Amino acid sequence: MRLISRYMLSQLISATLYTLVALLALYGFFDIIQEMPHVGQNSYDMQAMLNYVALLVPGHCYELLPLAVLIGVLVAMTQLVTHSEYTIIRTSGVTLLNIASLLFAFGLICALITLFLGEFGAPLAQQKAEQLKLSATRSLVAQEFHSGIWVKDNSNFINVREMLPDQTLLGIHVYTYDDNYHLVSTSHADRGVYDVNRKLWKLSDINETTFTPNRIVTRHLGQLDWHSVIEPSILNVLLVVPEQMSAMNLMTYIRHLRDNNQKTQRYEIAMWGKLFYPLACVSMALVALAFTPKQRRHGQLGLRLFAGICIGVAFHFTNRLFGYLGLLHDWNPALSATLPTLLFLLAGIALIAHQETR
């Protein structure tokens, strides 16, 4: 059994790797086509564009690994059936449960790789990619409003006109309100640089206006230390979409939004998706086994392979669809993010059980 397991694992790994490389090449080709119109903007030349596309690979790998597992396992198992190796393996005493256990272990290994990519590889690479592109094109961070970036910090409403790729803030406005939502003071700083050691922002060229019942007081400051819960790690959310952030960063940002009584639905869906998405590798491995015929004369191997691939593609888009539907209809975040994965996992187990009883 150990020799058979080792042989099957080698077939599964090679087929999955070939599939993943092919899918990454396809996505890379589309990324290059998408970026070509931007080549030539300032210092964003062909080399910078290729570096940007290369930094997107970990993110694509995270998204495509479950699909690559499905197609890879389908191809490997179909090859075994085509060469009558699967029949020999079954007649040698290896049960369907043994094969399912092997595929479960293979899917679990791929799930751990997916989890590592989702927590460390993809978010870091995506952030570096956006910083590279912003620096090369000398663009600003994408802003939700024409007036700049708006962030709430307890009783302060903060507006930042521009955020540079090195996380320097330009055009900072701070509006402070009391408990009755009366404007207490406003401050404007031309520039803000974060001091990592002291955990604060160093503002320069500040104009401060304080409103009292009897008068308005204004003053100008050259330098000012500004303590705020707004840190570069939170502002980095503006460089990476929630679906590509790590679960730890999502938890931190969700906590910040809750402390400021802001909506967290999208970020909660993304967080639950990060935690459960790696299990899709296990689901896809079991679904692939369910679509593997027992014998070569069973026929229609190509049709089964095509049907399995269609199911994998359907899962890939259904997973995203449920996230958008949950956000649109205000569904439970955990349910919106995990339901497709759990349904496919249960479907794979049910199909294998049905195949065993036939």
Residue 158 clears pLDDT 70, i.e. is over it: yes
Q: Evaluate whether residue 275 is within a structural domain.
A: yes
222 and 300 share one domain: no
Is residue 243 domain-resident? no
Check pLDDT > 90 for residue 179. Answer: no
Confidence of residue 136 (pLDDT cuts 50, 70, 90): confident
Residue 8 CA to residue 72 CA, distance in Å, equals 12
Same structural domain for residues 212 and 289? no
- 210, 230, 250: which is the final residue of a domain? 230
- C-alpha torsion 30→34→35→41, nearest 10: 170
How many distinct structural domains can be found in the chain?
A: 2
Domain that holds residue 211: 149-230
Please give the pLDDT value at position 144: 47
Q: Are residues 130 and 193 in the same domain?
A: no
Note whether residue 181 is domain-resident. Answer: yes
Position with higher pLDDT, 245 vs 141: 245
Q: 18 and 100 in one domain?
A: yes
Predicted local distance difference test score (pLDDT) of residue 110: 94
Strands 156-163 and 183-195, by their bridges, are unpaired
Picking from 23, 25, 20, 28, the residue whose alpha carbon sits closest to that of residue 53 is: 28
Instruction: Tell whether 167 is covered by a domain.
Output: yes
For the entire predicted model, the pTM comes to 0.72
Identify the band that residue 297 occupies on the pLDDT scale cut at 50, 70 and 90.
low
**Does residue 6 share a domain with residue 126?**
yes
Q: Which residues contact 171 (CB under 8 A, 6 or more apart)?
A: 148, 159, 160, 161, 162, 188, 190
Reported confidence tier of residue 237, pLDDT bands at 50, 70, 90: low
Residues 334 and 223 grouped into a single domain:
no
Q: Domain boundary residue among 230, 246, 275?
A: 230
Q: If pLDDT is split at 50, 70 and 90, which confidence band does 83 have?
A: confident
Across all residues in the chain, what is the average pLDDT? 82
Residue 333 within any structural domain of the chain: yes
Asked if residue 223 and residue 117 are part of one domain, the reply reads: no
**Does residue 127 fall inside a structural domain?**
yes
Q: Which of 16-20, 118-122, 319-323 shows the lowest mean pLDDT across its residues? A: 319-323
Last residue of a domain, one of 204, 230, 256: 230
Same domain, 6 and 73: yes
Q: Is the pLDDT at 118 greater than 80, yes or no?
A: yes
Q: Are residues 350 and 315 in the same domain?
A: yes
Instruction: pLDDT band for 140, please (50, 70, 90 cuts).
Output: very low
What is the reported pLDDT for 240? Answer: 62
Find how far residue 310's CA is from the centre of its chain. 23
Rank 46-55, 197-206, 274-283 by mean pLDDT and report only the highest. Answer: 46-55
Q: Is residue 255 part of a domain?
A: no
For residues 80 and 163, state if they share a domain: no
* 66 in any annotated domain: yes
Residue 174 has pLDDT above 60, yes or no: yes
- Specify whether 340 is located in the same domain as 285: yes
Task: Verify that 29 and 91 share a domain, yes or no.
Answer: yes
Angular region, 39: left φ>0, alpha ψ -120 to 50, beta rest: beta
